[in-house]
Amino acid sequence: MVSDNATNITKAGDLLKCELHLGCYAHTLNLAVQKCLGVQSVARLLARVRKIVGFFHRSSVTSAMLKTQASLLELPYHKLVTDVTRWNSAYEMLDGYISMHAAVFSVLVSKDLKNKDKDLKFLTDDETTLSEDIITCFKPLKAMATTMCSETSPTASIILLIHYQLLDHVLLPKEGDSPTIGYATKENMLNKVSTLDPRFKTLPYLPEEDRLSVFDTLVRGQEIFLTRTQRLLKTEPVNNADNPPILEIPPLPVLATVSNDSAPHPPEENPIPPKIMKIESKSKPSSSTLGDILGDIYITKVHL
């Protein structure tokens, strides 16, 4: 059985005891991106662009002015489009608008423009940047959805290839990603939360490569956070290693004590500890505690 992912269709497959029920992958992508369009800043931006596009649609005079301005600015002219139900129309609306943004601005500030809507507002610089970020984010998704909607050949054989390309490349965080447009999975987020807990900071359940990846993401996230904080406070970045930025962080609760009487030496530059020492809980865990449930994972590993 092949269908979309509507609840009634999924239920029908269950009632029919269908052994193999494939949901439409293009529909899955659509549902995911629709969640993105529901983000408040994105929804507000789309409403603003939709209103501007509608203004040009309602008047042949303003449309003619837009074509003239595009020619003067040597921009490839095309008619602005508005979005409809499907998410890819939102992408096309933003992409078309941004490519004509300079011409639109020229028309809206022109003294020759009559009967301008008083509530019509330009996009701010931040909104223009957000539009460009959304276009960059949605472009590969649109290509994938278009491929999956092919009616000339079967597409079941490429579902996993596209899926893993999406997860392993397209949606991976990259240096220079916009602070507004970010990709994350619950697993990535929970791994970062676990390593910030002193009890599980070494992430012993992950392979070494995955652990180092989580650590690297946290370090880069801290650097970005400090840079933005300094920018907000209008201070110069601190490059002196002897005088790092001071952040007031509440102390963590004491969760464990060192079983060895000797104090551990400071960690070396090598992030992989040469030796492992167990840190035991102050109170012996009962049968219902994490110690019994997680076993060795509950033991924190530190440098000797």
Q: What is the CA radius of gyration of the chain?
A: 27
Do residues 106 and 68 lie in contact, with contact meaning Cβ atoms separated by under 8 Å? no
- Alpha carbon dihedral 245, 246, 248, 252, in 10-degree steps, equals 90
CA angle (213 as vertex; 223, 159 as ends), nearest 5 = 120
Q: How far, in whole angstroms, is CA 231 from its chain's centroid?
A: 22
**Residue 69 contacts residue 53 (beta carbons within 8 Å):** no
State pLDDT tens for residues 179-232.
667 665 666 777 888 888 887 788 887 888 888 888 888 887 777 777 777 777
Q: Which residue is associated with the tokens 């269709």?
A: 9
301 — phi, psi (to 5°)? -105, 130
Query: How far, in Å, CA of 80 to CA of 104, rounded?
Result: 10
Angle at the Cα of 224 from the Cα atoms of 223 and 229, rounded to 5 degrees? 100
Residue type (1 letter), 6: A
- Considering only CA atoms, which of 24, 124, 161, 213 is closest in space to residue 170? 161
CA dist., res. 181 & res. 193, Å (int) = 21
Q: Which residue has the tokens 């997680």?
A: 294
d(CA 11, CA 213): 40
Extract the tokens encoding 98.
């941004």
Inter-helix orientation angle 40-57/87-99, to 10°: 60
For the stretch 226-247, pLDDT in tens is: 777 777 776 555 455 555 555 4
- Please count the other Cβ atoms lying within 10 Å of the Cβ belonging to residue 9: 14
pLDDT at 49: 93
* % of the chain exceeding 90 in pLDDT: 12
Structure confidence at residue 297 (pLDDT): 59
- How far is it, in rounded angstroms, from Cα 106 to Cα 75? 12
Contact between residue 103 and residue 66 where contact means Cβ atoms under 8 Å apart: yes
β-strand pairing of 257-258 with 300-302: unpaired
Six-digit token pair at 277? 């020492």
**Residue indicated by tokens 């608008």:** 97
Q: Which residues of the chain have pLDDT under 50?
A: 238, 247, 249, 255-264, 267-268, 270-288, 300-304
